[in-house]
Amino acid sequence: MILVLDDHPLVQQGIRTLLKAYNADEEIVCAGTLSESLSLMENNDIHMAFVDINLGRENGLDLLAWAKENELPTKMFIITSSSRQSDFYRARKLGADAYVLKDAFIDEIMYGLKVVERGGKFYSAALIDQMSESLDEKETFTALTRRETEVFLLLGEGDTNAEISKKLYISEGTTKKHISSILSKLHLQNRVEAALLASRHGSSSH
């Protein structure tokens, strides 16, 4: 069963239609508030939830926090109009399996769905580009490639090499090479300095 949490009925219907086209046999339930979604999660076997962040006065990420606290295996697919870095960072910290913007093409949403079903993580390319651009505003970071930027951001979240490798689907050897390149380009002595710099950048963008 899939849960769709969105406070706009038209969006609910659009996602439902998309999911039915992908799998006609899938049972889909919809909620417009956190309390409705919590009730549905508690009383049903929800294997995936499509969650909007901006729910009027409520925040859809609170559902992720609740699911994480209760150690639920539900896959969390964020589909939102919010491209705020603070929302993206929080969603990732809470273990979001996907983060896609509502203006994404249907193909991108469907591809993200397939990646998540296979146990992977999927973040909108437009969002990653935006994160890179915001880094590029500070001249220090312009030398980093997109992949190095992703590694850099994960360093700021305190991830180990193994965790970074798993999230980005690269080997630990490749992760080490990226970190060495980051240290060289940013003129840093070690990964601790890189993590502190990345963390400061992350918090300053919230």
Number of other CB atoms surrounding residue 204 within 10 Å: 9
Question: Residue 203: pLDDT above 70?
Answer: no
Q: Which amino acid is at 148?
A: E
Give 44's strand partners: none
Q: What is the pLDDT of residues 46-87, one digit of tens each?
A: 999 999 999 988 999 999 999 999 999 999 999 988 777 778
Find out whether 182 and 144 touch, Cβ atoms under 8 Å.
Answer: yes
62 φ, ψ (degrees, to nearest 5): -65, -25
- Please determine, looking at this structure, whether the domain spanning 129-204 carries the CATH number 3.40.50.280: no
Predicted TM-score (pTM) of the model is 0.64
Cβ burial, residue 173 (10 Å; 0-12/13-18/19+): exposed
Lowest mean pLDDT among 7-11, 80-84, 168-172: 80-84
Domains 2-123 and 129-204 share a fold: no
Q: What is the pLDDT of residue 195?
A: 84
Separation CA 51–CA 48 (nearest Å): 10
Element housing 79 (H / E): strand 75-80
Q: What is the pLDDT of residue 140?
A: 59
Q: What mean pLDDT comes out for the span 12-19? A: 92
Number of other CB atoms surrounding residue 3 within 10 Å: 23
Any idea of the CA torsion for 89, 95, 98, 99, to the nearest 10 degrees?
-20
Q: Where are the domains of the chain?
A: 2-123, 129-204
Instruction: Fill in the DSSP letter of residue 158.
Output: T
Question: Residue 206: pLDDT above 50?
Answer: no
Contacts 24+ apart (CB under 8 A), 24-30: 26/1, 26/2, 27/1, 27/2, 28/1, 28/2, 28/3, 28/4, 29/1, 29/2, 29/3, 29/4, 30/3, 30/4, 30/5, 30/6
CATH of 2-123, one of 3.40.50.2300, 1.20.120.330, 3.30.450.190, 3.40.50.720: 3.40.50.2300
Q: What is the pLDDT of residue 103?
A: 82
Separation CA 183–CA 166 (nearest Å): 21
Q: What is the mean pLDDT of the chain?
A: 86
Question: Residue 19: pLDDT above 80?
Answer: yes
Find out whether 99 and 123 touch, Cβ atoms under 8 Å.
Answer: yes
